[in-house]
C-alpha cells in the first residue's frame, strides 16, 4: 500500500468513528433544543460557545493545530445551532430583494439550512424580524467601494428592539449580463441597482453606456430577460445569470477587484448582546452632548482602554434637525474579558447622552 492509500484508510476509519460521535453529539444537542423549547431560551449561547472552544482547543497537544481545531468546532456548533433552529421552527431568515440578489446569496451562505422570506424594502425586513415573522434579517451594511448603506444604519437606530447578531464580509463580483445572442458591442443601456452602477462607473464610462436605476440587481436581471432586447444589459451576480437564462457579456465590471460588501444579521434582542471580549467586535450607537470636547472624550476612553475603533459613522438624528448620532465598531483587545467590555461601557455611559450596545459578535467571511 502506498502512502496515499495508507493515509486514506486511516482517514476512513477516523471518519467512521466521527460519524458515530456526530450522531451522539446531535442527539445531545436535540435534548438541549427540547429544553430551550420549554424554557424559551435562545438557541445561541455565546458564553457556552466561548467555553467549549477554549476548553477543547487547550486539549490538543500539537499547538499548531489549535486554530484549525477552533474553526472545526465553530463549524460543528454552527451546524448544531442550525439543527436546533429547524427543530424549534426558529429558522426563518428574511432579506430584501429577489432570489439571486446579493442579500439572498449572503443569506444562503450564512444560513444554508434556513427557510427564507423576501421583502421589497429593508424596512420590511426590520419589521418582519421585530414582529416575529422572521428570526433573522440579512442586510447590506457597507460596501468597500460605494460606502455605507445609511438607510440600514438608520433602521438599526430606529429599531431599539433589534440587535446585530453577526456580521460577515462577502466578496462581490458584478458581471454585465445580456440575453442570449447579445454582445458587449451591441449594448446601449445598462440597468441595475444604483450602488451596483456606482461600483461599475469606470467600466460604464469607458464603454459609453447609458444607465437606468432599478430596485435591485437580481430584479434588473429578471427584467432584461423578459425584455429580450440585446441592447439592454444588467449588472448583477453570475448566480442571477443562471437563474434567468442570461449570459455573461463582461465579468467583474466593478472598479475595484477587491469589492466586498459587509452584511449584518439582525435578530430580536430578547437579552442584551453577550460580551465575551477577545475575538469579538462591539457595535455601539450613541449621542453626545453639544459641548466642546465631548466626542473626543468618548473616543479617548475607547483608545485608553485598548479597544481599537475600526470605524465611526455619523448620521443625522431622525426627527431632530442638525443633531447627530454616532455608530462605532470596536475590536476587543487580546486578552480582554467580559468585565473589560462592561467597564468600558460604564465609562462611556458617563460621557454619552445616550448609549446602546447594538451588537457583540464575531466578524466572519461568507466566502465559500
Interface positions with ligand ISJ (CB under 6 A): 29, 32, 43-45, 48-49, 52, 77, 80-81
Task: Write the DSSP assignment of 270-299 as a string of letters.
Answer: SS------TT-EEEEEEE--SSTTHHHHHH
Decide: 165 and 280 in contact? Cβ < 8 Å: no
Shortest approach of ligand ISJ to residue 66 CB, angstroms?
18
List for the chain the helix, strand, coil content (%; round to 5). 45, 25, 30
- The residue (of 114 and 217) whose beta carbon lies closer to ligand ISJ is 114
- The residue (of 77 and 110) whose beta carbon lies closer to ligand ISJ is 77
356 contact partners, CB below 8 Å, separation of at least 6: 160, 284, 285, 286
- The residue (of 19 and 251) whose beta carbon lies closer to ligand ISJ is 19
Shortest approach of ligand ISJ to residue 64 CB, angstroms?
24
Decide: 294 and 285 in contact? Cβ < 8 Å: no
- The residue (of 80 and 174) whose beta carbon lies closer to ligand ISJ is 80
Region of residue 89 (left: phi > 0; alpha: psi -120 to 50; beta: else): left
- The residue (of 33 and 253) whose beta carbon lies closer to ligand ISJ is 33
DSSP single-letter state for residue 169: E
Say how many CA atoms lie within 13 Å of 25 toward its Cβ. 14
- The residue (of 186 and 279) whose beta carbon lies closer to ligand ISJ is 279
Shortest approach of ligand ISJ to residue 356 CB, angstroms?
24
Shortest approach of ligand ISJ to residue 61 CB, angstroms?
22
Distance CA 363, CA 253 (A): 27
- The residue (of 80 and 276) whose beta carbon lies closer to ligand ISJ is 80
Shortest approach of ligand ISJ to residue 266 CB, angstroms?
18
Shortest approach of ligand ISJ to residue 25 CB, angstroms?
7
Cα dist from 342 to 51, 284, 336, whole Å? 19, 13, 11
- The residue (of 29 and 243) whose beta carbon lies closer to ligand ISJ is 29
Shortest approach of ligand ISJ to residue 30 CB, angstroms?
9
Task: Write the DSSP assignment of 287-330 as a string of letters.
Answer: E--SSTTHHHHHHHHHHHTT-EEEEEEEEEPTTSTT-EEEEEEE
CB count within 10 Å of CB 59 equals 8
10 pairs with which residues across the strands?
none
- The residue (of 23 and 300) whose beta carbon lies closer to ligand ISJ is 23
- The residue (of 32 and 345) whose beta carbon lies closer to ligand ISJ is 32
H or E stretch at 46? helix 46-57
Decide: 166 and 211 in contact? Cβ < 8 Å: no
Shortest approach of ligand ISJ to residue 89 CB, angstroms?
16
Shortest approach of ligand ISJ to residue 29 CB, angstroms?
5
Decide: 149 and 96 in contact? Cβ < 8 Å: no
CB count within 10 Å of CB 41 equals 13
Shortest approach of ligand ISJ to residue 91 CB, angstroms?
14
Q: Helices (H) and strands (E) in the chain — how many of each?
A: 12, 16
For ligand ISJ, the nearest residue by Cβ is 80
Amino acid at each position: 500500500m502506498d502512502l496515499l492509500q495508507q493515509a486514506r484508510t486511516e482517514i476512513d476509519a477516523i471518519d467512521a468513528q466521527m460519524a458515530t460521535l456526530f450522531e451522539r453529539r446531535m442527539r445531545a444537542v436535540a435534548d438541549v433544543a427540547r429544553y430551550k423549547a420549554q424554557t424559551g431560551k435562545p438557541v445561541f449561547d455565546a458564553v457556552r460557545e466561548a467555553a467549549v472552544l477554549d476548553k477543547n482547543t487547550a486539549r490538543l497537544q500539537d499547538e499548531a493545530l489549535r486554530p484549525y481545531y477552533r474553526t472545526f468546532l465553530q463549524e460543528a456548533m454552527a451546524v448544531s445551532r442550525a439543527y436546533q433552529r429547524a427543530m424549534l421552527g426558529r429558522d426563518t431568515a428574511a432579506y430584501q430583494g429577489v432570489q439571486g440578489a446579493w442579500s439572498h446569496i449572503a443569506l444562503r451562505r450564512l444560513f444554508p439550512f434556513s427557510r427564507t422570506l423576501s421583502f421589497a424594502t429593508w424596512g420590511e425586513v426590520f419589521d418582519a424580524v421585530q414582529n416575529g415573522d422572521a428570526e433573522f434579517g440579512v442586510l447590506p451594511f457597507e460596501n468597500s467601494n460605494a460606502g455605507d448603506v445609511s438607510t440600514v444604519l438608520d433602521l438599526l437606530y430606529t429599531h431599539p428592539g433589534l440587535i446585530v447578531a453577526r456580521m460577515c464580509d462577502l466578496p462581490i463580483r458584478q458581471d454585465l449580463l445580456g440575453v442570449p445572442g447579445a454582445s458587449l458591442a451591441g449594448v446601449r443601456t445598462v440597468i441595475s441597482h444604483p450602488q451596483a452602477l456606482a461600483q461599475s462607473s469606470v467600466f460604464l464610462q469607458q464603454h459609453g453606456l447609458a444607465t437606468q436605476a432599478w430596485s435591485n440587481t437580481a430584479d434588473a436581471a429578471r427584467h432584461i430577460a423578459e425584455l429580450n432586447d440585446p441592447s439592454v444589459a444588467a449588472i448583477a451576480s453570475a448566480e442571477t445569470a443562471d437563474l434567468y437564462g442570461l449570459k455573461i457579456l463582461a465579468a467583474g465590471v466593478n472598479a475595484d477587484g477587491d469589492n466586498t460588501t459587509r452584511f449584518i444579521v439582525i435578530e430580536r434582542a430578547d437579552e442584551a448582546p453577550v460580551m465575551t471580549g477577545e475575538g469579538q467586535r462591539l457595535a455601539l450607537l450613541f449621542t453626545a452632548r453639544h459641548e466642546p470636547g465631548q466626542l473626543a472624550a468618548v473616543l479617548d476612553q475607547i483608545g485608553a482602554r485598548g479597544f481599537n475603533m475600526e470605524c465611526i459613522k455619523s448620521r443625522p438624528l431622525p426627527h431632530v434637525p442638525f443633531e447627530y448620532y454616532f455608530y462605532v465598531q470596536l475590536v476587543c483587545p487580546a486578552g480582554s474579558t467580559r468585565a473589560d467590555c462592561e467597564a468600558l461601557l460604564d465609562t462611556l455611559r458617563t460621557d454619552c447622552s445616550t448609549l446602546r450596545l447594538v451588537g457583540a459578535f464575531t466578524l466572519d467571511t461568507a466566502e465559500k
